[in-house]
Amino acid sequence: MSMFGFRISPSSTIDLDKVDRNRFKKLCALEPDASKCMACGSCSATCSASEFSGMSVRKVLLCLQQGREKEAYAMMSSCMLCGKCLMVCPRGINTRHLILSISRIYGKEESI
């Protein structure tokens, strides 16, 4: 595509070879629940914060897996930790602790 020297829309290609997966691995080690998600979207449907920042635990996990941290942070910026996602998750994922762990592991470089 880029051989023309221009493009109409920005590329959405994700080069997984270039993604730093260390933090995600760390997250999975700390929160085995992170790999339990089956992306059903129950959390997206119920999230109180989704109307403010498009928050969804499913999408946050997907973004982090693909190295799109910025997008994940933007979504998480209005998470209110209300626990609705915890109540509806059919996989019994402890979503609140997952969000807190993400807040602990990620975001270091950006904050400096």
**Considering Cα of 85, then 89, then 94, then 98, what sign does the dihedral take?**
negative
CA pair distance 109, 46, nearest whole angstrom: 31
Handedness of CA 67, 68, 70, 76 (dihedral sign): negative
Instruction: With CB under 8 A as the rule, give the number of residues binding other proteins.
Output: 35
Question: 22-41 mask for other proteins (x: CB under 8 A)?
Answer: -----------x--------
One residue of 19, 26, 44, 46 binding other proteins per CB under 8 A: 46
Q: Which two tokens stand for residue 68?
A: 């799109």
User: Does residue 96 bind other proteins (CB under 8 A)?
Assistant: yes
Chain residues binding other proteins by CB under 8 A are 33, 46, 48, 51-53, 73, 76-84, 86-89, 92-94, 96-97, 100, 102-108, 110-111
